[in-house]
Structure 1
Amino acid sequence: MRSGGWKPFWAALFASLLVLVPLVGGTVLLSRQQLRTQLRQAARSESGVPIQLPKTTDQLTVLLCVSGEQPGFVLAYLNASQNCVHLLSVPAALTVPFAEEETSLARCYAAAGPARCREALAQVLALPEDTRYLAFSPAVLERIASRYGPVRVGFTGALTEEELARYGRSRAVQGISAGDAHEFLCQLQADEAFSPVRTAAARAAVWDAFLRQDLDLLPATLPDALRASSSALLTDLTALDYDALERTLEFLANNSAAVAAQALPGQWNAASGTYTVTDASRAAMQTFFNVSPTEAQASSFSEP
């Protein structure tokens, strides 16, 4: 009788643990997130910077450019109301209008800089009128990114095992510094064996990993790092834009925003060395901005 009486006790105890353990674990995780938020706000308050609460209307679209002989281009879309960070790696070989002719985005950058690249992209892709541009030299990008440490990234979605082995890399997720990542991407971009979209996919993988792993750290550090490096940047971001970036990153970090990255699809002609926009490119842009086909059609019908 006595041993039989223990069975309901242990069953009840086990059932209680099944309920309490997940509840306690969730409470601990929530408390840690709230503590990180409070620490970020306290740090800004102590520094004398007024605290601005993020709003769901905060959003920003920026063309990110990394200069050099093999320039890289990534469109970044941050939207608080959609709680998303979207990245679109644009192949440097993309054909864009330039000086009443057509040329690659890379040559457009070399000839006229990031502002002209933004204008050229807006003529072939549906970019918002308020799209900003931000261009780094490799050295400045490495200096800003080095504070976050190596990025753990895998390239299996972009390159085969044999292709990775050619550059001393494997399919495994691996840590890579900003400087090494830039050098690797430049090597891929200069290698004629790779189509532009595959090189762009590798670039998208690096930026995707960086945003996913460091999103929680960015609100309190990235805007200030950009402000401190303003003399070494080519950008049309204003003081108000930096404030909006800080608020938006704060909102996205606090709400575990979804991060998604892809390469812009298009038509690659290896013989002519041209990469052109297609219907798939336009569909990718709709996905990038979370615009449904119906909304996109309605928008085009309303244009004069």
Structure 2
Amino acid sequence: MTKYATLASITDVLLDPTTTPQLRRDTIEIYRDLLLTASGVDLGDAASVDHVDTGKGVAIGMTWAALCVDDMIRTQRFVTGLHRAIQDVAARRGGPVHVLYAGTGPFVTLALPLMTRFTPQQLQFTCIEINPASLRAAQRVIQQLGFEDFIADFIEADAATYVIDTPRPIDIVLSETMQYCLIDEMQVPITLNLMAQLPEETILIPEQIRLSLVVLDEAGDKIVAELGPIFSVDKNSLRIHSIGAANADFPTVRLPVPIHVPPAKLELTSGPLAIRTGITVYGEEVLYDYDSGLTIPKIIGDYPSAEDPLEAIDFTYHLAPSPLLWMDFVVPEAVAAE
């Protein structure tokens, strides 16, 4: 079987909503092997492991970016969501759909499968990558698979500061440059920068990332209650922030943490507090709790009690000096005065 035929069969599985977990696992393993062979990447090389400090945040090292393909449900949902977005754009106008892929990593993982479903006359990618080793690997993958005609440009740049200068209008911005709870990585600065330069109709993938405060069970492996929303990244929130001060912090959100929380059966012996990450990739393609490494709740502390009281938590998403969700635990005044 040729490399193209192998990738086409991989795409068939990734786009099939009835794919079984075992078939998905086997298919992702084949996909990883194909990518490693085509890229020539040595995942054990010391230089590949190191992260890139952009000065405003962290771009993960080439090895870790490459291993994201193993987050199987994430890979499948993003490929499927991108496919549907491309179809939606193509249905309303002629000419190639132009995707700006910010943070391709060494494999161009989310774009490659769709190059077996469309022609270069139907689909074009502009690829941005800050890590020069990852960029070179991505170029090798495209060359090895014979997909050069799908690439409008490869750009070595920080997508968080890149000024868009392409002759063809951009229809879709694809950027999956995050960890759970938007820790460290550049998802927010990148999408804030790029979407501020594009018209309202431009599609953003993922469409929405939602952070919320939740309570887990005592074992810490199941969500039993949600206390409220913390932060949302979507076209609307990004545009509102851009109209104000694009480099300023996002507004602080204060969430009370009462001792008794619905449902009523939740007792003082509640499990830990955690931050939940919900991701809508596009349309009906959603990553739910525990589907992915991106949607595992992050434990931030014990649930309050009479002996260890807590009034509220203030959450502020900082852009500078680096992306960070800052938390300030607010204790009752009487406790604070002691």
TM-score > 0.5, shorter chain as reference: no
* Larger RCO: 1 or 2 (CA < 8 Å, sep 6+): 1
Give the number of the structure whose residues are more often strand, by fraction: 2
Normalising by structure 1, we get a TM-score of 0.24
Between structure 1 and structure 2, the one with the greater Rg is 1
Give the number of the structure whose residues are more often helix, by fraction: 1
